[in-house]
Amino acid sequence: MRVLTVLGNRPQSVKAAAVSRVLRARHEEVLVHTGQHFDDELSTIFERELGVPRPEIQLGLGGGTNTEQTAKQLAALGPLVAEQRPDVVLVYGDTNSTLTGGIAAAQAGIPVAHVEAGMRSWDWAMPEEQNRVLTDALSDLLLVPSRTAEDNLKREHPRGRIMYVGDVMVDVADLFRPRARENVAALERAGVRPGEFVVCTTHRAANVDDPARLRLLVDLLLAVPYPVVLPLHPRTRARLTAAGWLDELAGGVILSPPLGYLDFTALLVHAHAALTDSGGVQKEAFLARTRCVTLRDTTEWVETVDSGWNVLVDLDAARAIEALDRPLPGEHPQPYGDGHAAERVVDALDLLP
């Protein structure tokens, strides 16, 4: 089988890292990276440490608004799909590249397999939520990471076939966690000690694009009573620079460029807590048994909240600070599978006509 995988950003590279290794043992894969957000360091790390191939095709289509990105990607992916003639197009998660990969395939009459299908925040204003719902509608195989995602889809009666596979990010996290624990050099580089700092990521449009919300975010981060290590996403850096608040923030938190996966995971497993608006980081904190405080008022990863490992505080500084010091829950359930999701994803492809 010839599989065309479309990626566009960092978390999708993490997810593809789990699947590509297993996939290439059985099928032919062509990895296409749209360039929505290409992280060369992450790509190198995965290549070196997991044997994950670098994308065979780089479209280099970064920048622009969501609509511009979607238009540019579609214009490039249409001819590419026609030329490559894959048996299936594989997409991950909820980015513009997920949606455009799905549309390009569906319009060419090629089956679409969606990994991380069925996730819902029920916040239609989120560009990611629109991408999820639309991609699920286009997909022939809806590969869900959790029973909640499965239930969400069953209520929507999609055209495609729903299959529970578990979360492919668990596969990667399980593989990396032991090495991340030993990687104290990452903490030394940040100048922090195990258990005594907070690791933060933030880049959601809803938090950084509106200056009033961005100001709340800056004030919240400056109020945290722990050293905060913040590997700064390019979008957040651009918004802070435009608002003139980057230096002020740099005076109160430990800023760094985006980190490679192994260094970031080292910080996550050794942190007192994670403070984030990222979907992936909420889940990775949960898997690492690190308490998480989420800078949003909704989440797709509801199990992390229901089990007490994650608390949603939006940009309320007082609630965030209180949540950072809450005791850890006694129980740690496993709603996202057993670390063998990638094998199930590849098995599921055999079910396509």
Shortest Å, Cβ 17 to ligand UDP: 9
Q: Contacting ligand UDP (CB under 6 A), which of 6, 7, 42, 170? A: 42
Concatenated DSSP letters of 129-165: HHHHHHHHHH-SEEEESSHHHHHHHHHH--SSEEEE-
Q: Contacting ligand UDP (CB under 6 A), which of 201, 236, 290, 304? A: 201
Alpha carbons 76 and 4: distance in angstroms, whole number: 14
Alpha carbons 109 and 32: distance in angstroms, whole number: 19
Concatenated DSSP letters of 307-348: TTSEEE-TT-HHHHHHHHTSPPPS----TT-SS-HHHHHHHH
- The helix (run of H) or strand (run of E) holding residue 84 is helix 66-84
Beta strands in 48-104 (DSSP E): 57-58, 88-92
Inter-residue contact 100 to 74 (CB < 8 Å): yes
Shortest Å, Cβ 326 to ligand UDP: 23
Shortest Å, Cβ 231 to ligand UDP: 3
Residue 335 C-alpha from the chain's centroid = 17
Cβ distance to ligand UDP smaller for residue 207 or 278: 278
Cβ distance to ligand UDP smaller for residue 35 or 258: 258
Torsion-angle region of 178 (φ positive above 0: left; ψ -120 to 50: alpha; else: beta): alpha
Contacts of 163 (CB under 8 A, 6+ apart): 141, 142, 143, 144, 344, 348, 351
Specify whether 272 is catalytic.
Answer: no
The strand pairing partners of 312, in sequence order, are 294
Total binding residues for ligand UDP by CB under 6 A?
16
Q: Is 14 an interacting residue with respect to ligand UDP (CB under 6 A)? A: yes
Q: Phi first, then psi: give them for residue 256, nearest 5 degrees.
A: -145, 165
Shortest Å, Cβ 263 to ligand UDP: 7
Q: Is 142 an interacting residue with respect to ligand UDP (CB under 6 A)? A: no
Cβ distance to ligand UDP smaller for residue 158 or 258: 258
Q: Is 86 an interacting residue with respect to ligand UDP (CB under 6 A)? A: no
Cβ distance to ligand UDP smaller for residue 106 or 126: 126
Q: Contacting ligand UDP (CB under 6 A), which of 16, 22, 32, 281? A: 281
Residues 284-313 that bind ligand UDP (CB under 6 A): 284
Q: Is 166 an interacting residue with respect to ligand UDP (CB under 6 A)? A: no
Binding mask 231-270 for ligand UDP (x = CB under 6 A): x--------------------------xx-x--xx-----
Cβ distance to ligand UDP smaller for residue 7 or 80: 7
Residue 148 C-alpha from the chain's centroid = 18
Question: Sign of the C-alpha dihedral, residues 325, 327, 328, 329?
Answer: negative
Q: Is 176 an interacting residue with respect to ligand UDP (CB under 6 A)? A: no
Annotated active-site residue in 203, 270, 272, 332: 203
List the catalytic residues: 203
Residue ranges binding ligand UDP (CB under 6 A): 10-11, 14, 42, 201, 231, 258-259, 261, 264-265, 278-281, 284
